Amino acid sequence: MDAFGTILTRVYTSRAQIPVSGATVAFTQRGAEGRHKLLAVRVTDGNGRTAPVQVSTPDAAASESPGTVEPFAVCDIWAESPGYELLVVENVQIFPNTETIQDLELIPLPEQTDALLPEHPVNIPPQSL
């Protein structure tokens, strides 16, 4: 019988841990052939927190003997917000009947300057009609 745990995130930037509101956070699990299954998408609130996501976990009793299943489920978390680098955190452990809080620090992108423009832009020539 499966149990459930919950995961939520706290998204912030800088050492001062300034909350990032309006960040998009996706919760996924890897399935067969390494494909990701989307569990949920959340948007952070004014405190940089997401609403909890319920995740199916193995029953804790099934892991009491050596060589049995791990006592937790695993998910990957993708977080992004305009002006910040995409952050991917893999193998976050979610335990049954437990709320897990994952801190996510977003790194600001450098401010746009002329130096960041490509030296050789791609030029599409007109079609000869």
Supply the CATH number for residue 57's domain.
2.60.40.1120
Higher model confidence: residue 64 or residue 101?
101
Q: For the chain, what is the domain count? A: 1
Single out the residue of 96, 107, 95 nearest to residue 20, CA to CA.
107
Please indicate, yes or no, if residue 46 is contained in any of the structural domains.
yes
| Residue at 86 is within a domain | yes
Single-letter amino acid, residue 41: V
Look up the domain containing 65 and give its range.
Answer: 3-109
pLDDT of residue 115: 42
**In-domain check, residue 78:** yes
Enter the pTM of the model.
0.78
- Pick 66 or 55 by higher pLDDT: 55
What does each C-alpha distance from 89 to 9, 30, 59, 99, 106 come to in angstroms? 11, 13, 24, 17, 11
Nearest Cα residue to 56 out of 129, 5, 115, 118: 5
